[in-house]
């Protein structure tokens, strides 16, 4: 693109405050820079991969950041793609000094835990993306964070977390040199596309989880409420990762004319924007579905509790009825037992003990008392 090419002719290098190339000796070798100068660092573990490209083809793979800086100065028409994973403050400071990165963007890249956003600092774009991947074993969504610095002749990616895997993006771009030839903007769009494509397995996994949850809800699984809550929280995080992308991509598309974006990249970006919109709508639908499932589950649990309480009440009522019957018959049988017990003591001086009508009187008394008690309990529906 014309603006990028103009920047490579020298106009943008003064803005970035790039250190001048060290002078060469007459024999063609490089003479050491005057002054103490910082020692060249060994390859840090956080540097995943660095590569220099020219016309869409990789020309070298420097082992350290210092080598990358040196080779990029020697190849003004080249592009550096630097991949970092959890870099140190010293590494980010080195990049900031070399490429003139804004301090606020560098601070965000160091601290991580940023919301997705797109900001422009002069000729440099700073993009924050939230990648996601679905873990089958625990059935949960794992989120990573990616910071991308895009300048006229460099792309710097700072990854926090396991996702996304940018090695596949790099291979894809190297396999399509006609796309990589379009410059750092093409790399940015490829990264955006990879992050958005990574959402598709997550959407599929979440859809399966929701289907399983619906089955568990109507099956009465007692652990389903916890699973609904945990998945709802993941969908909140997923929504925070996808929803800002819609505005970010529309902001990039709004700058097509101003920054003379290649027509091929414009089509590429529109395709990514369509995918993001579709994913965002699916995520919104998932949150709504989980909210409705939670309401249905609460209703079913309440109905189940009411049924159990009603069953307990009915069981208690039936038990009370049985107790009434037992108590009634116990009282009825107690009357003849009492009379028989008194006259069974066989004392010599007891009234009516030697009375000729004593036995019929006792039997009659027992019958009258039992009959009276039976009629009383029957009227009260105890029998």
pTM of the model: 0.68
C-alpha to C-alpha distance for 276 and 245, rounded to whole angstroms: 7
In this prediction, residue 45 carries a pLDDT of: 52
Residue with tokens 């009260």: 380
Q: What is the DSSP string of 171-218?
A: HHHHH-HHHHTT-HHHHHHHHHHHHHHTHHHHHHHHHHHHHHHHHHHH
Crossing angle of helices 184-197 and 167-175, in 10° steps, is: 130
In this prediction, residue 174 carries a pLDDT of: 92
In this prediction, residue 224 carries a pLDDT of: 87
Residue with tokens 């920047």: 7
Task: Using 70 as the pLDDT threshold, list the residues of the chain that sit under it.
Answer: 1-46, 163, 257, 259, 347, 353
277-312 pLDDT, tens digit each: 999 999 999 999 999 998 888 888 888 888 888 888
Residue 53: enclosing H or E segment and its boundaries? Answer: strand 47-54
Q: Are 51 and 75 in contact (CB under 8 A)?
A: no
Examine residue 164 and say whether the peptide bond preceding it is cis (omega within 30 degrees of 0): yes
Residue with tokens 């250190």: 19
In this prediction, residue 33 carries a pLDDT of: 41
């Amino acid at each position: 693109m014309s603006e990028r090419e103009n920047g490579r002719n020298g106009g943008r290098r003064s803005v970035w405050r790039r250190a001048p190339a060290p002078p060469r000796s007459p024999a063609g070798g490089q003479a050491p820079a005057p002054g103490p100068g910082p020692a060249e660092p060994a390859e840090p573990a956080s540097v995943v991969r660095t590569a220099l490209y020219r016309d869409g083809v990789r020309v070298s793979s420097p082992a350290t950041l210092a080598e990358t800086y040196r080779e990029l100065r020697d190849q003004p028409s080249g592009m550096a793609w630097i991949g970092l994973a959890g870099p140190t403050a010293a590494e980010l400071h080195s990049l900031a000094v070399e490429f003139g990165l804004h301090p606020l963007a560098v601070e965000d890249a160091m601290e991580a835990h940023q919301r997705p956003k797109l900001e422009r600092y002069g000729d440099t774009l700073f993009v924050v993306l939230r990648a996601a991947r679905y873990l089958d074993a625990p059935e949960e969504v794992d989120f990573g964070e990616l910071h991308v610095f895009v300048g006229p002749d460099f792309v710097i990616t700072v990854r926090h977390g396991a996702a996304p895997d940018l090695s596949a993006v790099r291979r894809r771009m190297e396999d399509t040199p006609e796309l990589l030839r379009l410059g750092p903007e093409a790399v940015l769009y490829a990264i955006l596309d990879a992050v958005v494509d990574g959402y598709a397995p997550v959407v599929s996994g979440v859809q399966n989880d929701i289907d399983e949850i619906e089955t568990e809800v109507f099956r009465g699984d007692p652990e389903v409420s916890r699973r609904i809550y945990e998945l709802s929280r993941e969908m909140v995080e997923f929504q925070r990762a996808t929803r800002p992308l819609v505005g970010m991509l529309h902001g990039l598309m709004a700058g097509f004319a101003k920054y003379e974006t290649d027509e091929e990249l414009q089509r590429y970006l529109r395709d990514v924007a369509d995918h993001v919109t579709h994913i965002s709508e699916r995520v919104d639908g998932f949150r709504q579905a989980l909210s409705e499932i939670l309401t249905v589950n609460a209703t079913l649990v309440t109905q189940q509790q009411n049924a159990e309480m009603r069953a307990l009440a009915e069981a208690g009522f039936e038990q009370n009825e049985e107790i009434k019957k037992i108590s009634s018959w116990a009282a009825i049988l107690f009357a003849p037992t009492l009379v028989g017990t008194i006259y069974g003591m066989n004392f010599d001086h007891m009234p009516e003990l030697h009375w000729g009508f004593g036995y019929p009187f006792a039997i009659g008394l027992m019958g009258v008392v039992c009959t009276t008690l039976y009629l009383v309990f029957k009227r009260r529906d105890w029998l």
